[in-house]
Amino acid sequence: MQGLLGTVGPLLLMFVLFYFLLIRPQQKRQKAVREMQSDLQKGDKIVTIGGVHGTVDAIDEGTIVLLSGDGSRLTFDRAAIREVKESVKK
């Protein structure tokens, strides 16, 4: 029994460390990004993963329409939104 614990113990400890140092923080980041993308509202100022800055003009289930600074409208997937710079609270 002592030999089994000596063999399996370090493996379990390594798994627990990997979980708390790598896996769990990544899951938290993914959850925060999903919430940010689902909470988008018309009028929010956002930045896409490609670096395009604009204002949300229209929202569909899987896409959004951005109004850029020069007045052009661009359609993006929701997953292409990197961050919300300024949110319109309702």
84, with CB counted inside 10 A (0-12, 13-18, 19+), is middle
Contact (CB, 8 A) for 80 and 54? no
- Give residue limits of the domains in the chain: 4-86
Under CATH, which architecture does the 4-86 domain have?
Answer: Roll (2.30)
Please write the tens of the pLDDT for every residue from 3-46: 777 888 888 999 999 999 999 999 999 999 999 998 999 999 99
The three-point CA angle 43-75-41 to 5° equals 25
Please write the tens of the pLDDT for every residue from 77-89: 999 999 999 888 7
According to DSSP, the residues that pair with 77 across neighbouring strands are: 63
Strand order in the sheet with 45-48: 73-77, 63-67, 53-59, 45-48, 81-86
Mean pLDDT value of segment 61-79: 92
